[in-house]
């Protein structure tokens, strides 16, 4: 009986893991200067040009840090000095070029050129700040959080 419960639990966990493609690449670090940190599942990973980013990653820059990122839907982002941005949600159907994209700016400055997700549906791309939610309907903008 116990064994059966364990097997059921393992099957449930496996289903959960495989139905969540959260490990998939959503974008890449393309340029960086100064101090840049990436936290994935609570642990730091090395920040370098070409590093693949995943849903849930939190990226931060130091006082002199800057980082430029490209995403699968052709959107692009730049983080200025003293910034922390969380890539909370990114789902994208490459064939249909639709999806949803939610970032959270905890502090600092985020410059964005939006891509296919913002075009696919009203407010499919959103940016959250500590007090507000922004619906992105295109295309170039800057969010600053003090």
Partner 1 sequence: MVRRIATAALVLALGACATTDRVTLLEGEAGHPVGAIAVLGKDGTETVLDAPRMQALLGSETARVRTVDKLDAAIGPLMDSLPLPPASFTITFPNAGARIPGDQMQVLEKIRTELARRPGAQIEVAGFTDSTGTEESNNELSRQRALAITQELRDSGFEIADEDAVGRGEYEARAALGDNVADESYRRVDVIIR
| Residue 82 found at the interface with partner 1 (CB under 8 A) | no
Please name the residue that has the structure tokens 């994209």.
101
The sign of the CA dihedral 115, 116, 117, 121 is positive
- For 118, counting Cβ atoms within 10 Å of its Cβ (0-12 exposed, 13-18 middle, 19+ buried), the class is buried
Among 11, 62, 93, 130, binds partner 1 (CB under 8 A): 130
- Residue (4 or 96) nearer to partner 1, CB: 96
Among 36, 47, 59, 77, binds partner 1 (CB under 8 A): 77
Scored b (16 or more CB within 10 A) or e, 11-48 reads eeeeeeeeeeeeeeebbebeebeeebbbeeeeeeeebe
Q: What binding mask, one character per residue, do residues 19-58 give for partner 1 by CB under 8 A, x or -? A: -----xx-xxxxx-x--------------xxxxx------
CA atoms within 13 A on the CB side of 37: 13
Of the listed pieces 8-16, 37-45, 66-74, 85-93, which binds partner 1 according to CB under 8 A? 66-74
| Residue 138 found at the interface with partner 1 (CB under 8 A) | yes
- The residues of the shown chain that bind partner 1, judged by CB under 8 A, are 24-25, 27-31, 33, 48-52, 66-72, 74, 76-78, 80, 94-95, 109, 111, 113-114, 118, 123, 126-127, 129-146
């Amino acid at each position: 009986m116990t064994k059966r419960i364990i097997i059921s639990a393992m099957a449930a966990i496996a289903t959960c893991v495989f139905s969540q493609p959260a490990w998939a690449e959503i974008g890449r670090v393309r340029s960086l200067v100064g101090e840049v940190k990436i936290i994935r599942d609570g642990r730091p990973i090395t920040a370098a040009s070409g590093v693949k980013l995943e849903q849930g990653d939190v990226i931060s820059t130091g006082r002199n840090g800057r980082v430029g990122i490209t995403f699968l839907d052709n959107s692009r982002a730049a983080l200025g000095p003293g910034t922390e941005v969380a890539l909370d949600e990114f789902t994208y159907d490459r064939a249909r070029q639709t999806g949803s994209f939610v970032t959270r700016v905890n502090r600092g400055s985020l410059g964005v050129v939006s891509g296919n997700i913002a075009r696919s549906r009203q407010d499919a791309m959103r940016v959250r700040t500590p007090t507000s939610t922004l619906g992105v309907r295109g295309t170039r903008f800057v969010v600053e959080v003090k």
